[in-house]
Structure formats: structure tokens, C-alpha cells
Structure 1
């Protein structure tokens, strides 16, 4: 069975071939943001392939939705199907990133 590793949490889980990255994340108890319940409508579930080639090729819908971001290693977790071992990085939530940056700035300013 293929194994997928989720970064930055470094959680690993084995899944049946054909499982989506989003489905594997749920099994591993790793949160990936989504609003459309896996229908490729919200585009919030982007992940970046860090290593391995264990994902099936892009389907037409995913290719259109990503608009070239696939060239940078991005995939939609709801559409990408696992075929072998792969490691993906889940980008930081934009709101959390903004809050983190603000807190870092306040620390630098001596708040």
C-alpha cells in the first residue's frame, strides 16, 4: 500500500491506491482547508508535492483549476489520487500566516 507523508506535521499514513490526498489527510487526521467537500470548486485544498512521484496525472478539471501552478508542484488534494509513495506540504493557512507575521513584528518592535 502506498504511503503519504504530510509536512510540516510529518504525519504518515498508508492508503489504498486511488485514494485522494484529501481522503488520506482525513485518515491521518491532518487538516486541509476546503469548502466544497472535494468537488474542486473552492481551490482551497492546494498542496505542494515535496518528493516522490506517487500521484496520478492531473485530470482536465484539476489542470484547468490550477492554471499552471502544477508546474510549481501544486495539486488539488481533492483531485490528486495516490498511486505510490509521496510527500506533500500543506501550505500555512493565510490567516494564521498574517497573525504570525504580525506577532513577529510586534516582538521585533519590543511590544
Structure 2
């Protein structure tokens, strides 16, 4: 079994070999946006993965990500936990764009209220 740590939420979950990162995130109640139900069509589930316990990208994933895959980005729906892996994996989930905009607006309002 492999342990996956989801950041920035700092939530841990134990995943079995062959399980997708997206499925593990759902078990940990970590939201990762997707529209295609895990078919690598929408490219919304990009995450950054660190650790040795992930299987190499499939041909489909490499075609979809292109150069981004070389920067450590993977599709959570396609990245699978290695079968014989016992290593811990860290998955960094980017902040949702809408949440980022709302957070920025709230910070701006807070700054304005200080003056």
C-alpha cells in the first residue's frame, strides 16, 4: 500500500496499486476538478506529483500533456499508484481558479478596510 499526501490540504490517504490519484483524492475528500469523469479529455485535473510510487505516464497522458509532463505535471485521472510501491507520494493540487479570485478579492477588501 502507498500513502498519498494531498497538499495544500495536508490530507493523507492509503491507496492500493493501480488506483488513480483522482480516486484516492475522492477517498481523502480532496476536490480535484474534472468534467470528463476520468477519461483524460478535459485536462482539468492537472496535479504536480512528487515521489517514486507512481506508474509512468501512459501514451494517452503523454500526448495530452506534452511538455508539461516533463515538469512533473500529471493528470490525476490517469496517474496510477505503482503496483509494488510502498513509497509515500505527495500530490500538490492547484487552487481552483474561482476560489483564487474570491480569495484575492477578499484580501483586497481587507487591505482597503485598513486605510
Shift of 1:56: 0.6
Provide the aligned C-alpha RMSD in A.
1.3
Q: Name the TM-score, length of structure 2 as normaliser.
A: 0.88
Distance in structure 1 (CA, Å) of the matches to 2:81 and 2:99? 28
Q: Which residue of 1 aligns with 2:94?
A: 91
Q: Which residue of 1 aligns with 2:23?
A: 23
Distance in structure 2 (CA, Å) of the matches to 1:73 and 1:106? 35
Unaligned runs of 5+ in 1: none
Shift of 1:90: 0.5
Alignment of 1:33-44 (within 5 A): 33-44=33-44
Distance in structure 1 (CA, Å) of the matches to 2:47 and 2:33? 10
Q: Name the TM-score, length of structure 1 as normaliser.
A: 0.91
Shift of 1:82: 0.7
Cα deviation 1:58-109 (Å, max 9, x = unaligned):
1111111112111221100000001132110110001111111122122222
Picking from 90, 97, 105, the partner of 1:102 is 105
Shift of 1:110: 2.6
**66-75 vs 16-25, which moves further:** 66-75
Unaligned runs of 5+ in 2: none
Classify the secondary structure of the residue corresponding to 2:31. coil
